[in-house]
Amino acid sequence: MATFMDVHHGMTGITPEELEQAHQADQRLEREEGVHFKQAWADPASGTVWCLSEAPSADAVQRVHERAGHKADEIHSVPYSV
Amino acid sequence: MATFMDVHHGMTGITPEELEQAHQADQRLEREEGVHFKQAWADPASGTVWCLSEAPSADAVQRVHERAGHKADEIHSVPYSV
């Protein structure tokens, strides 16, 4: 397992309810791909959402997001954190 | 106080020690600006670092990073999180 930070652009105006719904959609699917979405943050002004996950691969993270209907624009492995 | 996600680019090859030193430099200064840096994640492959903070303003976050010698490239207010 590794830690990933993925980024979604183009989410301008996202509401707290939409963020919660998107996160719940990911959580319903994550177990099938061996992924765990830990946290997510949204900036509705720039339309950016970041999701922090533990997963076997970036592809597994993307599969969950694609199946949930919101493909990520970037998926970064983040081996270091403080 | 609000929550901010800031982004640093151009950090290709950053090591765990460099991330830790940068975070400690921020922490030594943060109180003077009323900022608290909570977590940071690094992707040495793309050279991206994300810092999550609680702060009175984006300007306060940037002042800490500038004084610590590593100005952020983006600072996003993230009013929503899950």
What's the rounded Cα separation, in Å, for the pair B60 and B67? 11
CB B53 within 8 A of CB B38: yes
Per residue in B25-44, pLDDT (tens digit) is: 999 999 999 999 999 999 99
Contact flag B82-A3 (C-beta cutoff 8 Å): no
Q: Name the closest residue on chain B to residue A23, using Cα atoms.
A: B82
Residue at A82 is within a domain: no
Residues 5-64 of B with CB under 8 A from A: 5, 14-16, 19-20, 23, 39-46, 48, 50, 52
Q: What is the pLDDT of residue B54?
A: 98
3-state secondary structure of A74: strand
Crossing angle of the two packed helices B58-67 and B16-33, in degrees rounded to 10: 120
Residue at B82 is within a domain: no
Q: What is the pLDDT of residue B72?
A: 98
Crossing angle of the two packed helices A58-67 and A16-33, in degrees rounded to 10: 120
What's the rounded Cα separation, in Å, for the pair A45 and B70? 24
Residue at B24 is within a domain: yes
CB pairs A-B closer than 8 Å: 72
Return the bridge partners of A51, or none: A6, A40
Per residue in A18-63, pLDDT (tens digit) is: 999 999 999 999 999 999 999 999 999 999 999 999 999 999 999 9
Q: How many domains does chain B have?
A: 1
Q: What is the pLDDT of residue A10?
A: 98
CATH code of the domain covering residue A54: 3.30.70.3090
Is the dihedral angle over the CA atoms A24, A28, A32, A38 positive or is it negative? Answer: positive
Contacts of B43 in chain A (CB under 8 A): 5, 76-79
B26 token code pair: 């921020």
Using CB atoms, which residue from B19, B48, B79 is nearest to A76?
A: B48
Instruction: State which residues form the domain around A69.
Output: 2-77
Q: What is the pLDDT of residue B20?
A: 97
pLDDT bracket for residue B62 (50, 70, 90)? very high
Q: What is the pLDDT of residue A63?
A: 98
**Percent of chain B whose pLDDT exceeds 70:** 100
- Nearest CA to B5 out of B68, B48, B47 is that of B48
Q: What is the pLDDT of residue A12?
A: 98
